Amino acid sequence: MNAAEAEKKILSLRETIRRHDRLYYVEAAPVVSDSEYDRLMKALETLEARFPDLATPDSPTQRVGGEPLSDFPSVVHAQPMMSLANTYSREDLMEFDGRLRKLLGDKPFSYVVEPKIDGVAVSVRYEHGHLVQGATRGDGLKGDDITANLKTLRSIPLVLSVPDGDPPPVFEARGEVFMSKAGFIRLNAERVEAGEAPFANARNAAAGSLKQLDSRVVARRPLSVVFYGVGETEGWGAETHIDLLDALAALGLPAPPRRWHVATMEEIFPVLDQLGSERHTFDFDMDGAVVKVNERGLYDALGATAKSPRWAIAYKYQAEQAETAVRAITVQVGRTGVLTPVAELEPVALAGSVVSRATLHNADEIRRLDLRIGDRVFVEKAGDVIPAVVAVNVQARTGSEKPFVMPTVCPICGGAAARREGEVALRCENLQCSAQIKRWIRHFAARGAMDIEGLGDALVEQLVDEGLVRDPADLYALTPEKLLGPQKGDQAQGSLFEADDPAHTPRAAP
């Protein structure tokens, strides 16, 4: 293949990959399998490696950055990144409406309601359609240049989609980076297993991820973005906020999944109820609704306070909380031996499900909460999903509550538990611990790994307790005979695995 042919092929592969990125990340309607996508990406990488002159910074292959930075450079925002005035009450919304009517006289206007995403505010700058800079809000006037990190998010296009005509010379999109709820649960579980402190919620996890100086770490974090506004623009305009949201989506920038255009404040109240009832269906944490004037031509006349524009207000939903009692604190043993204390709760209804257990992460967390067995506690769903004890109702103490002491031995196998240097967690050091073996086998058989159909918790429990499986290799040595017998008490056949069985020399750490 000569350079001209390679260039043609490279351009076409980039176009195809960008189309698939858009279908997957913006429209949530992928048309190719992951392996087909990987094949396209590999082909592009190979060609760019063979023809390095044809590699460009906006190629889809450039998503994962290079060497870690030592610090983030500062960015002065071309237009300040403001905040929003907050309210928890509907009366305040009526007052907000009254203020606008006074300021605008008889000028007609309408409202748009959209979800308030609980993430990290970012600004992404495109020049002539190419992503040139990504920044955090910082103090509103100056933020951190996190371009390399933002480039790893596949939901942020490296090139704007402008099928006909030229892209605007300058287009800054403003939005919120968030960690998906499922991704947050997975990441926290991995951190606990690695003996690291878990993130308190998905927003902290997103913020912590964007602060990483090594963009290769960021690339592995399940981050996405939603855009809801613009900063500096040149050669672009929109008369209404609805048009702005449509324009964002047309350019390939993910816009909020829901929005309502209403004529009056009175019509907003049922919308707030509706949005509130949908909050659990979004992949991001939603901590409220944002109410914005739709007519952008009125924004200058309305102006801003020192911190926030007068044309918008955030209505925050109260975090759903429930009070219940801690019946006991048990200790779970993870795949790598990490001991995790868990609060066993009096079952209580919370945000759409009944909660009876809440992870306490580690002994430090119990100390921080000053939690005792028998306490009455307040529970919330961290990141809308994982039940967490947020506080103790100290007033409700009767004196019969008992302090919890983290065991120094594994509650399953009795092996010694120790804290490794630099870790907050205690670990069972016995690699033959049946709890660890069970977690190991489950991990091995899980969908993201060997995907062994039917090998769920109950079966793993049975196989390990019966001594039929002690490591993943044993799964492949199972036969119908082994599964059916030996019957209990059948001394003639003995145990399936004798202590000196050469196939069962001590295994390496999982």
312 vs 445, beta carbon nearer ligand IVH: 312
From the list 102, 116, 292, 488, the catalytic residue is 116
161, 229, 176, 166: which is closest to 23 by C-alpha?
A: 161
Comparing every residue's Cβ against ligand IVH, the nearest one is: 121
**C-alpha distance from residue 466 to each of 71, 438, 463 (Å):** 54, 12, 5
Which are the contacts of 484, defined by CB distance < 8 A and separation ≥ 6? none
> Is residue 83 a contact point for ligand IVH (CB under 6 A)?
yes
* Shortest reach from residue 304's CB to ligand IVH, in Å: 8
* Shortest reach from residue 132's CB to ligand IVH, in Å: 21
3-state secondary structure at position 202: helix
3-state secondary structure at position 178: strand
Contact pick of 21, 176, 375, 380 for ligand IVH (by CB under 6 A): 176
CA–CA dist 26, 257 (Å, integer): 10
- Site residues for ligand IVH, window 219-248 (CB under 6 A)? 228-229
4, 21, 14: which is closest to 56 by C-alpha?
A: 14
Contact pick of 84, 339, 413, 469 for ligand IVH (by CB under 6 A): 84
Direct distance between the N- and C-terminal alpha carbons of the chain, in angstroms, rounded to an integer: 46
20 vs 116, beta carbon nearer ligand IVH: 116
> Is residue 259 a contact point for ligand IVH (CB under 6 A)?
no
- Contacts of residues 12-15 at CB distance under 8 Å and 24 or more positions apart, as own/partner, are 13/40, 13/43, 13/44, 13/47, 14/44, 14/59, 14/60
* Shortest reach from residue 147's CB to ligand IVH, in Å: 19
CA–CA dist 221, 206 (Å, integer): 8
* Shortest reach from residue 8's CB to ligand IVH, in Å: 41
Token pair of 175 as six digits: 């939005």
| Region binding ligand IVH by CB under 6 A among candidate stretches 36-44, 82-90, 97-105, 347-355 | 82-90
22 vs 203, beta carbon nearer ligand IVH: 203
Rg (CA), the chain: 28
Contact pick of 167, 198, 309, 337 for ligand IVH (by CB under 6 A): 309
294 vs 340, beta carbon nearer ligand IVH: 294
Binding mask 429-468 for ligand IVH (x = CB under 6 A): ----------------------------------------
* Shortest reach from residue 112's CB to ligand IVH, in Å: 9
The DSSP secondary-structure symbol of 505 reads P
- Site residues for ligand IVH, window 106-125 (CB under 6 A)? 114, 116-117, 121
Contact pick of 242, 314, 366, 377 for ligand IVH (by CB under 6 A): 314
* Shortest reach from residue 231's CB to ligand IVH, in Å: 9
Query: Crossing angle for the helix pair 202-210 and 181-193, nearest 10 degrees?
Result: 80
Known catalytic residue at 116: yes
* Shortest reach from residue 239's CB to ligand IVH, in Å: 18
Q: Is the CB of residue 406 less than 8 Å from the CB of residue 400? A: no
Which are the contacts of 228, defined by CB distance < 8 A and separation ≥ 6? 114, 117, 174, 175, 176, 245, 248, 255, 256, 290
> Is residue 312 a contact point for ligand IVH (CB under 6 A)?
yes
For the annotated catalytic residues, the residue numbers are: 116
Binding interface with ligand IVH (CB under 6 A) = 82-84, 114, 116-117, 121, 176, 228-229, 256, 290, 309, 312, 314
